[in-house]
Structure 1
């Protein structure tokens, strides 16, 4: 499997199902570069907590909760570099991509999770490179 190249990436998990939170946490703990900031089962608690956070690298977010995960993503889009929906609802994919960066349908295995993380990090690195290249070209 490919290696994630960076000292560490912070993440928060929000899912109203505690078993899903625990499973995702166990999977992410197998990736040594991933650093847990917090876990939530209540979207209101999560949005309040984000007021005290610096920007996190990843927000792993369910959709079908008391407050829609899409609404939470809309509120927190400037507080997370990447928003990854991890949900049992495939029908929200198009709407979710307006506010999220990846969409994974449960159950998610470690290989799929890691592939999504690597894709987003690679995409981000390419954008940084292209932006730097554009600055050089403008000179």
Structure 2
């Protein structure tokens, strides 16, 4: 597992040292890059360094943990609130915290909260890595006129001429091929729209067609493909579609 960067924020030095020690013992993959006692310093530090994970005390002098987050323009890290008062729990979750733990910190509570946060961080990193890989491969294979389809089993490399149309379905995408088979991709239709070449046309919010496979335009709002499949075309996209053939 890759290292996960963390920042600890608490106005009491003993709490910072204790939490850092517990993390080092229980989660060696977590690297504490900064600790802050003053919330003003923490705000500046978070603006300059976006870690993967932040442990944030709620009750601090002058500025609360909630106010620290409110002063940040960008929050891309996961937050675990640390507090001595359980009544802050509801407000903590309103602030989109992964979890909150009570002082004095119990090892079991810490493990549950951190494992939840680490899972989210790792999934985000895996997703970003996969996206970069797909974009790189897309650029590399563009001259070969192939599209890359991320699936549950890996990556499929499909020649563009074999794709009839793409259909968005409950957050997934169905890739309809000329051999009448279908591939289900974990990418949504919007992500494919960014990866496809200009021979593909988004005719409907849920459909992208290969223009080379369109055989007929029906006035009532459908495109007929070479396999006799009818794909809806929205009213707003009709003009743009017809303009392609002027």
Q: Same fold (TM over 0.5)?
A: yes
Tell which deviates more after alignment, 57-66 or 79-88.
79-88
Is 2:52 the counterpart of 1:57?
A: yes
- Give the 3 Å change call, closer, same or farther, for CA 121–102 of structure 1 in structure 2: same
Tell me if structure 1 keeps the 8 A contact 2:98–2:113: no
TM-score (normalised: structure 2): 0.48
Larger Rg: 2
Match of 1:102 in 2: 99
Match of 1:113 in 2: 110
Match of 1:13 in 2: 8
What secondary structure is seen at the aligned counterpart in 1 of 2:94?
coil
Q: Which runs of 5+ in 1 are unaligned?
A: 1-5
TM-score (normalised: structure 1): 0.80
1:76 deviates by 3.9
RMSD: 2.3
* Alignment partners' CA distance in 2, 1:83 and 1:72: 12
Tell me if structure 2 keeps the 8 A contact 1:8–1:33: yes
Is 2:27 the counterpart of 1:28?
A: no
- Give the 3 Å change call, closer, same or farther, for CA 70–114 of structure 1 in structure 2: same
Identify which of structures 1 and 2 has the higher relative contact order when contacts are C-alpha pairs closer than 8 Å and 6+ apart: 1
Tell me if structure 1 keeps the 8 A contact 2:47–2:72: no
More helix by share: 1
Q: 1:97-127: per-residue Cα shift (whole Å, max 9, x none)?
A: 121221111111223212211123335639x
Tell me if structure 2 keeps the 8 A contact 1:56–1:79: no
Match of 1:3 in 2: none
Tell which deviates more after alignment, 19-28 or 117-126.
117-126
More strand by share: 2
* Alignment partners' CA distance in 2, 1:12 and 1:89: 21
